Each structure stands twice: as structure tokens, then as C-alpha cells.
Amino acid sequence: MSSLQNILRIIPDFPKPGIQFQDINPILRSPKHFSESIKLFEKKYQNKSIDIVACIESRGFIFGSALAQNLGCGIALIRKSGKLPGPVFKETYELEYGTDSLEVQSDAFKNNDRVLIIDDVLATGGTAKAAYDLITYNFNITIIGITFLLELNSLDGRQKLNDIPVFSLLQTDWHLFKTLTTSKKFYFDLICSSIIRALSLGGKNSRSLSL
């Protein structure tokens, strides 16, 4: 997996100053490295009798569809609110600056399906946990695990996922990608984000069926 680690690229000051962004696009551009990543996922899960790979928007679609083809199983799309047609189940969860929602079609899984959830990066774990809650609350299925291409260890995303089996092809430390600054703008943004979060409505996950 060292070849995959070596091809990753750091983009400084993205999406905002002080952030060193870990760019996985070089893997996607390289047929050799993309194929390697899918084969490693396949090796991990080929004997798990998986029925559906649940792919989290958006780059989870890329890795999940290729993996599902190799495993000979189907996929289900976990999308942001308003992107899926027909009846959907919805899970709302907290972000640092408010809330967001994930949805899945109400017929995405059959009873007793064995499901693997996949996404590109595990950071704080909030999106992955919301996807897990969305599926397990609304369907009678078995979660085989949640898998990622890259895990940022220092953000402790695994803690939010509790006892859910988690596997990541690559792992690295967040301090390599985040540079703190003592600028006035940093502290101003920090104070503003704290106020916004304190005033935001919600605070508890909510679930609904949208027709």
C-alpha cells in the first residue's frame, strides 16, 4: 500500500487558509493505482458474502461501484437530501457549523441483506455514522463493516463509530494536513463558528420518511 500512500498529494490552504488538504485524485487518475486500491478492498471482503455495497456521496460512489463489480454484488446510493427520486428514508446529523442530511431510497435493501458501507475518507466519522444509522434504523440488514480509502487518525473518527468494524486502506495523522495559525482571522472564525453552533437549531438526530 506504500505506492498508494506515495501518490497522494497535499494541497495547501484548501478549502481555507491553514488547511493542508489530502488529495486522492492522483489515485483516481492512475489506472494502476486505482486498480490496486480496488483489488485491496476486494481481498479484504471477497469472502464476506456481501449483497450490497452502500456508497456514500460522492467519491464513495467511485470506489463502491468498482468494488461491487469485482465482488459480484449490487450497490445502494447514500445521497445528500433531495438527490434521490421516489420514497426515501432520511437521517439528519450534526456538523461543526449546523446540520446536514443523508437519504436512501426506501427499497434500497432487502431483508437480511449483508451490507458493506464505503466512503473515500474517514475524518471525524459523522457522515459514516449517519449512513450507518440511516440504514440500520430503517432496514432489517446486517452491516459487515464500514471501509475507507484514507483515515485521518488524529481526528478519532473510529470512536464515533463505536463497535462497528472499520477498515481503511491508508492511514495518516491529521497534524500533517492541518496547520494552526495565530492570526486574528483564525480566532475570529473560531469564535463565530462557536456562536453559530450554539444558536443552531436541532442538536438531536431526526429520522423521517419522505414521499
The pLDDT assigned to 41 comes to 98
Predicted pLDDT of residue 196: 60
Three cell numbers at 53? 455495497
Active-site position among 59, 114, 158, 197: 59
**Residue type at position 195:** I
Q: How far apart are CA 51 and CA 116, in angstroms?
A: 8
103 catalytic? Reply is: no
Q: What is the pLDDT of residue 202?
A: 53
pLDDT < 70 positions in the chain:
1-2, 96, 174-211
Q: Would the pTM of this model clear 0.85, i.e. be above it?
A: no
Closest to 27 measured CA to CA, from 6, 42, 41, 47:
6
pLDDT tens readout for residues 17-32: 888 888 999 999 999 9
| Beta strands 88-95; 206-210: pairing state | antiparallel
52-79 pLDDT, tens digit per residue, is 999 999 999 999 999 999 999 999 999 9
Give φ, ψ of 139 to 5 degrees. Answer: -135, 150
What cell was used for 28?
Answer: 483516481
41: helix, coil or strand?
A: helix
Among candidate residues 9, 29, 96, 207, the one labeled active-site is 96
Q: Could you check whether the bond before residue 58 is cis, i.e. omega within 30 degrees of 0?
A: yes
Active site residue 96: yes
φ, ψ at 34 (rounded to 5°): -65, -45
For position 121, what pLDDT does the model report? 95
